[in-house]
Structure 1
Amino acid sequence: MPRTDTPPADLPDTPRKEELLDSLTKGLALLRLYASGVERLTMQEVADQLDVTRAAARRLLLTLEHNGYLAQEGRQFALTPKVMDLGYAYFASMNLPQLARPYLQALCAEVNESCSIGMLDRDSVVLVAREEPSQMLRVDMAIGRRMPAYAHSLGRVLLAGLDDGARATYLAGAELRKLTPFTISSRPALARKLEQVRAEGFCTLISELVDGFAGISVPLRDQDGKTVAGLGLSMVLGSRDQAYLERHYLPPLRRAAASIEAILKAR
């Protein structure tokens, strides 16, 4: 069967216009007007800047006021502190690299291998923190690098941490390519592997993303027990095997993860 790069029709990469809520788009655009440094806006100013009718501007403003994000002062509307709630989860997650950095540095020094923290973004794992050893041969992966979640040890601990419904949705729609001769590209086989990762609490992956490279990762959980990120090591495999990786690297990896989780749970 010829390979196709076209995603399934029911899982488009770019949503169709009729699938989008125009009112929500306008409401977000209204909030972005305040991000430019404007403290207060009138209905007419909103109508002019968003290119909508005065009646539409009124509905947008009153809806945000009703939900507590704006306060009316005469003819003008100003932001309230509640608008900070919209960005809290994002900024909380952005603190993770700074909070984890001392533990990443210590882990990197202890094992002399590349250490990373990754987060799940749709079908990809994205590196949000990285520490490299001083050795000459390095695994070249910069912060912000995106990799297919199914073929990376960080991605697998994150996928394993999804609830059953989210994991089933991922498995139904993900494009699983044979990146190397060792890549798991069968949906049933990947489903079984994720169940194993979930039960064992770690993932060791060898030569599935790039032949000759290996990774071992563990989840990072918040105070509610939800997997919010993954902590992992990546390395050139050389003459080492899976048993060696798990015997030498899993204990320090778990200790570092426990330290980072203690901070996450204390926030």
Structure 2
Amino acid sequence: MISPDAPHANPQKKEELLDSLTNGLALLRLFASGTGSLTMQEVAEQLDVTRAAARRLLLTLQHNGYVAQDGRDFSITPRVMDLGFAYFASMDLPRLAGPYLKALAVEAGETCSLGVLDGESVTLVAREEPQQMLRVDMGVGRRMPAYAHSLGRVLLAGLDDAALDAYLATAQLRKLTPFTVSSRTALARTLRQVRSDGYCTLVSELVDGYAGISVPLRAASGKVVAGLGFSMVLGSRDAAHLLRHHLPPLRRAAEEIEALLRTR
């Protein structure tokens, strides 16, 4: 039976809830309680569902890589950590990365930000400004279209192929400036290049006259969990200037932050 202590939201009308999702989450909680493996019959009994329903739950989780089968026994895989790691990493990241953002902003004289992917948007979770007259007005919590921001592009490039294909198939791509890459084919090509380069420079695509350069931050597993980058008024500079002056310190800081993440 499903434990009465299982987490639940405020009471909702029965027709508004998905029983299959509720049962799937209950199944993951069974494994999380320390159960090494379960048979199909044990799942049916523990969740108080039919054997056919238990089979569908297990096969769905197996298809998505969260459960592995060995004969009659099913057990969870390390992939379940993906469900929560990015969230908890993003909660801890602002504290870990804060001193580096401050040092980068002072060294470069530009706004330095930390962002995470949130659906089709990149959300700023930390930000440091230099003491200068011209500033980029983007506060913590600000959401921007991921395809048109350098932080967003390193995050999109860090998705696995299936997730990236799904994004490209459904994302709303608008021409925000005359320079915005808004073609799905062109964006896919650009993101493949970002993935290969390990950084992204972007000029006048979100707002004409503004530029950004960003690098990914990876967890110990290699998964991209955030982006670290500068945003600035471009002025008389060009993308080559960003690469020469801003990419090296970004990469150094990213390596140090990633080293901290590996100790968590």
Q: Structure 2 length as normaliser, TM-score?
A: 0.71
Q: How many Å separate the matches in 2 of 1:89 and 1:205?
A: 25
Aligned partner (choices 136, 141, 148) of residue 139 of structure 1: 136
1:28-52, Cα deviation, whole Å (9 max, x unpaired)? 995457xxxxxxxxxxxxxxx7788
Distance 1:224 1:134, change over 3 A: same
Return the letter of the residue paired with 1:232: G
Q: How many Å separate the matches in 2 of 1:187 and 1:67?
A: 41
Could you say which residue in structure 2 is the equivalent of 1:164? 161
After TM superposition, the structure 1 = structure 2 runs for residues 232-251 of structure 1, keeping only pairs within 5 Å, are 232-251=229-248
Kindly tell me the number of residue pairs found equivalent between the two proteins.
205
Rg: which structure is higher?
A: 1
**2:119 matches 1:119:** no
Q: How many Å separate the matches in 2 of 1:254 and 1:113?
A: 16
Could you say which residue in structure 2 is the equivalent of 1:229? 226
Return the letter of the residue paired with 2:206: L
Identity across the alignment (%): 67
RMSD (Å) for aligned C-alpha atoms: 2.8
Return the letter of the residue paired with 1:212: G
**2:67 matches 1:67:** no
CA apart distance, 1:188:
0.6
Structure 1 consecutive aligned stretches of length 4 or more whose deviation exceeds 3 Å: 27-33, 49-52, 85-92
Gaps of 5+ in 1: 1-23, 34-48, 71-84
Q: Is the 8 A contact 2:86 2:225 kept in 1?
A: no
**2:159 matches 1:196:** no
Distance 1:228 1:91, change over 3 A: closer
1:101-160, Cα deviation, whole Å (9 max, x unpaired)? 011111111101000000001100000000001112100000000000000000000000
Q: Is the 8 A contact 2:158 2:224 kept in 1?
A: yes
Q: How many Å separate the matches in 1 of 2:32 and 2:199?
A: 42
Aligned partner (choices 182, 186, 200) of residue 185 of structure 1: 182
Q: How many Å separate the matches in 1 of 2:205 and 2:114?
A: 19
Return the letter of the residue paired with 1:138: R
After TM superposition, the structure 1 = structure 2 runs for residues 1-267 of structure 1, keeping only pairs within 5 Å, are 30-32=7-9, 67=30, 90-267=87-264
Q: How many Å separate the matches in 1 of 2:85 and 2:251?
A: 28
Q: Structure 1 length as normaliser, TM-score?
A: 0.70
Gaps of 5+ in 2: 34-80
SS at match of 2:106: helix
